[in-house]
Amino acid sequence: MIGGKTKLLAVIGDPIGHSLSPAMHNASFAAEGLDYVYVALEVKAEDVPAAVRGAAALGFRGLNVTMPHKRAVLPLMDELDEGSRVSGAVNTVVIEDSRLCGFNTDGPGLVEACREAGIRLAGRRVLLLGAGGAAASIAAAFCDAGIERLRIVNRNVERARDLSEKLREVGKRAEVEVHAPDALEEEALDAAVIVNTTPLGMRDGDPLPLPPAYLDEGRAVIDAVYRPGLETPLIRHARERGATVVTGQRMLLYQGVLAQKLWTGKQPNVEAMNRALL
């Protein structure tokens, strides 16, 4: 029961009504008997600084941040983890005595989802489609997991180069190259793991981010896009062709597991969170 000592958490974004995070986190709190409550708050872009500072003033324990605010909150933080610094994006905020600590759990969450699916990352060659905040967090986490080579394909090549440079600056050891989309098929041929972080798949009728011929058995295909209750076309084609797949929903689950652990200091009830998502 919510009371005067209940600790407050929220996800902020615009729009936010579709978010599965409240159901996921509140299921874990209920299962473990933790006195927390998690809500979704729609925040317009111009109100992000006031909303974040207001959460701290109101005694919130933390926040999740989703599109389109992940980059906007970064300069508001007092501290940042490496994933946030590399990606330029924050998806989790921990509030300690009004001090704002920013984290990015997207990449580490995806590493956990790969482990669950039996996908080995150490020594593998990875093709990353996209170079936004989620892509950058994934790139950093995959390098930490010991991948051998990372190829980043993005329409904005300069943005991909910036990501490559940031990875070098923080000492990531994987061999990193950047390519324009016209090199996509050539790079896909050599990749053991393919990760889509582009928006393709969010809407009905979107084209596949790469041709089905490259989604064959022996590869791992990961889609950061998730659609509640639906598989993306990329995941559906890859599954039909025998590839090992990780859906955006599994990434959502495990980034949430890591975020909740940051807020509570306790191992979340993963089974309860998973049931809520399903």
Note whether 135 and 200 are same-domain residues: yes
Q: At what angle do helices 133-144 and 157-169 cross, to 10 degrees?
A: 40
**Quick one: which of 175, 173, 195, 174 has its CA closest to 184?**
195
Note whether 264 and 240 are same-domain residues: no
User: Residues 215, 237: contact at Cβ < 8 Å?
Assistant: yes
Which H or E run contains 112? helix 106-117
Q: Look-up: residue for tokens 């058995």?
A: 217
Is 1 among the domain residues?
no
**Is-catalytic flag, 70?**
yes
What is the 8-class DSSP label of residue 185? H
Low-confidence ranges of the chain (pLDDT < 70): none
CA distances from 188 to 118, 129, 218, 238 (A): 21, 10, 13, 13
pLDDT tens digit sequence for 188-211: 999 999 999 999 998 889 999 999
To the question of whether residue 255 is assigned a binding role by annotation, the answer is yes
Note whether 92 and 122 are same-domain residues: no
Instruction: Tell me the residue range of the domain where 160 lies.
Output: 107-246
To the question of whether residue 177 is assigned a binding role by annotation, the answer is no
For 138-157, give one letter per residue: b (16+ CB within 10 A) or e: bbbbbbbbebebbbbbbeee
Is 96 among the domain residues?
yes
When divided into structural domains, the chain yields a total of: 2
Is 2 among the domain residues?
no
Note whether 13 and 73 are same-domain residues: yes
Of the residues 44, 70, 172, 261, which is catalytic?
Answer: 70
Q: What per-residue confidence (pLDDT) applies to 229?
A: 77
Note whether 59 and 127 are same-domain residues: no
pLDDT tens digit sequence for 29-85: 999 999 999 999 999 999 999 999 999 999 999 999 998 999 999 999 999 999 999
Is 95 among the domain residues?
yes
Note whether 239 and 266 are same-domain residues: no
Note whether 267 and 242 are same-domain residues: no
- CA atoms 81, 198, 248, 66: torsion sign: positive
pTM > 0.75: yes or no: yes
Note whether 141 and 69 are same-domain residues: no
Q: Look-up: residue for tokens 């980034």?
A: 255
Q: What per-residue confidence (pLDDT) applies to 184?
A: 94
Is 160 among the domain residues?
yes
CATH number of the CATH domain containing 255: 3.40.50.10860
Whole-angstrom Cα distance, residue 164 to residue 176?
6
Q: What per-residue confidence (pLDDT) applies to 107?
A: 96
What is the CA angle 246-251-255, rounded to 5?
155
What is the 8-class DSSP label of residue 45? G
To the question of whether residue 130 is assigned a binding role by annotation, the answer is yes
Is 35 among the domain residues?
yes
Note whether 163 and 258 are same-domain residues: no
Q: What per-residue confidence (pLDDT) applies to 173?
A: 84
Q: How many separate helices (H) and strands (E) can be counted in the chain?
A: 10, 12
To the question of whether residue 232 is assigned a binding role by annotation, the answer is no
